[in-house]
Structure 1
Amino acid sequence: MSEKTFQAFYVEEQESGAFTSGVKKVPFSFLPDHEVLIEVHFSCLNYKDALSASGNKGVTRSYPHIPGIDAAGVVVEDVSGKFDEGDSVLVTGRDLGSNTSGGYGRFIRVPNDWVVPMPDGLDAKQAMTYGTAGFTAMYGVKRLQRELIEAGNGKVLVTGATGGVGSMAVFFLSQLGYKVIAATGKMEKKSFLETLGAAEVIHRDKVTDVKESPILSRQWQGAIETVGGEMLDAVIRQAGHDGAVACCGNILGHELHTNVYPFILRGVSLLGIDSAICKTLLRLEIWDTISEMPHQKLPESYSHVVGLNELSGEIEKILNGEQSGRVVVSHQK
């Protein structure tokens, strides 16, 4: 009798060193030996998923592999007894889709402490419209709030504003009453960002094309900075007194060359966001806050749904910087 299989977007490394990917049937024995078996209904596409699907060994150490750092669905079995069969749940971050088979498979098997009950007010598709991008953005909002960067205290900058994290940050901040400056290299997306709630849309060069002075005139009180490198340095140097910058990206580089003056003369705080490894209580709080957002205010065009067989084209788009908004991956399409 043949072994039971499930459908997945499967990435393999060839003897030549090249990587190939496609939809195929995978045996259940491919899944790791963890407590909770989940049938995945929806996942989504993140830049990290695209790297994993392309054979990036910095994200995924060994292949074959099933990417997908996000998953939402229902519990099939939990040998630990923490969850019941049929419970609606979601999993984001941790090691899912990096070195543990991820949400681009119809089934995942994960440790029970990775699993979050689906919050009231969210269904699986909505949860994956947000996914790790939304989770990271809301984590950044909460880090700013912890530093008393509140609506009404000044402008908040969001860089990489058309990307997944950036666009979600624009939406969340605007819905919470903040005046948002959205910085982007895609000024043709200005109306898209205004629809999400941006009060002002500027070209990213306006942030970085500044004097090399150790400290610059104040332009924003807080920032969610998603691209790193010279952008992060410029954002820090233009933050206001007692300002804060939450950072989570490195597309422009992983090194930060800056100086101490914004920190010791203005009391600026630099805040890291690690959404993959986030304490459980904070993880639950973040998802509860996301569930309270007015989902109906997201433009209908903000996300679109694809099936596994359409993923390759979407992965190419995100790697080439051609994507805005969110791609939701359906196992039912």
Structure 2
Amino acid sequence: MFKAILINKDDQGYHSVLSDVDEQQLPAGDVTVKVVASTINYKDALAITGKAPVVRSFPMVPGIDLVGEVLQSDSKRFSVGDKVLLNGFGVGEGHWGGLAEKARLKSDWLIPLPSAITAEHAMAVGTAGYTAMLCVLALQKHGITPEQGEVLVTGANGGVGSYAVRLLSKMGYQVVAATGRPDESAYLKKLGAVDILPRSQFSEPGKPLQKERWAAVVDCVGSHTLANACASTRYGGAVAACGLAQGMDFPSSVAPFILRGVTLYGIDSVMRPLADRVQAWQQLSDILSPEDFDTISHVISLDQVIESATALLAGKVQGRVIVKMA
């Protein structure tokens, strides 16, 4: 038996509880993992609270991230005792995820845990930091350098935004953070932001073309925020879009792309090829230090997950939440 957060659905709605689960209930997979740590992402919080139809089958163990030790393996890629890491691939939505003491998974979803990162630090990063790294890599491949000017990060107080600010800052970029929580400006400046702008400056409808300011943008918000960010990006700049907290719509025009040569990159982290994952995690382990992980995260236990998920959706959680198993 092991402990897990279980989500069920009935006529009264979604129900999430901390339960004792028999190992025989684990889904099919060729690798069984003792989960050392997981984390709570925005998608996990939606699943746990039932605020959005994230879960595709019931019962479901949420948790799109996990790190752990291989207990049993029928895969040539991994052996018993290997430290492994997982992000995405529909885990926590259609296949039991990481908010449990054990998981059974497909080996094709796993990568080795980088030797320079501890299990807890890997979950301080999680899908949020890994997505932020994918955004930064897209900007670098576009040719954006620190000398070209300011880089805007929207939704900067969230997990992806926090890591985007920190990564870009440590790589020498001038980072401007947009946030709806101006009272937390000190946190963003500690991460390396040189300026803080209010969310309201971007969240309302704006002109198709605005004054050129940003060499590049990491957008975690979508909707009008993304449209305004594109409209104010400088000629030849790039925008990496990875979030939809404000909405899935894109109320913009082709003007920034045709008249200024702006490029919009869509950043998917869920089904990303393994080679991209390994590259992103290696970069994360090279750039970030233990102090970075500790600044951006805090630790809770499995029995605090449901309460923390509610707080996250209410905008009361800063940075990342690590869920450490007993």
For normalisation by structure 2, the TM-score amounts to: 0.97
TM-aligned CA deviation for residue 62 of structure 1: 1.9
Indicate the residue corresponding to 1:281 in structure 2: 275
TM-aligned CA deviation for residue 134 of structure 1: 0.3
Contact kept in structure 2, 1:34 and 1:110, CA below 8 Å: yes
| SS of equivalent to 1:29 | helix
Q: What pairs up with 1:63-74 in 2 under 5 angstroms?
A: 63-74=58-69
The alignment status of 1:9 with 2:5, answered yes or no, reads: yes
In structure 2, give the amino acid aligned to 1:13.
K
In structure 1, give the amino acid aligned to 2:72.
E
Contact kept in structure 1, 2:204 and 2:225, CA below 8 Å: no
TM-aligned CA deviation for residue 175 of structure 1: 0.6
Indicate the residue corresponding to 1:265 in structure 2: 259
Residue by residue, what CA displacement relative to the aligned partner does 1:113-150 show, whole Å, maximum 9, x if unpaired? 11110112101101000000000000000111111112
Query: Unaligned stretches of 5+ in structure 1?
Result: none
Q: Aligned equivalents of 2:234 and 2:260: distance in 1?
A: 7
Indicate the residue corresponding to 2:305 in structure 1: 311
Shift >6 Å, 4+ stretches: none
TM-aligned CA deviation for residue 330 of structure 1: 0.8
Aligned length: 326
The alignment status of 1:218 with 2:229, answered yes or no, reads: no
The alignment status of 1:169 with 2:164, answered yes or no, reads: yes
Query: Unaligned stretches of 5+ in structure 2?
Result: none
Indicate the residue corresponding to 2:84 in structure 1: 89
The alignment status of 1:125 with 2:125, answered yes or no, reads: no
Q: Aligned equivalents of 1:209 and 1:64: distance in 2?
A: 40
| SS of equivalent to 2:147 | coil
Contact kept in structure 2, 1:196 and 1:299, CA below 8 Å: no
Q: Aligned equivalents of 1:325 and 1:12: distance in 2?
A: 28
Q: What pairs up with 1:64-213 in 2 under 5 angstroms?
A: 64-208=59-203, 212-213=206-207
Residue by residue, what CA displacement relative to the aligned partner does 1:94-126 show, whole Å, maximum 9, x if unpaired? 111111101011111111111110112101101
In structure 1, give the amino acid aligned to 2:143.
L
Contact kept in structure 2, 1:22 and 1:309, CA below 8 Å: no
Q: Aligned equivalents of 2:323 and 2:169: distance in 1?
A: 27
Q: Aligned equivalents of 1:299 and 1:57: distance in 2?
A: 29
In structure 2, give the amino acid aligned to 1:279.
P
Q: Aligned equivalents of 1:294 and 1:246: distance in 2?
A: 21
Question: How much identity, in percent, do the aligned residues show?
Answer: 37
The 3 A distance-change label for structure 1 pair 170 and 130 is same
Q: Aligned equivalents of 2:8 and 2:203: distance in 1?
A: 40
* Root mean square deviation, CA, Å: 1.4
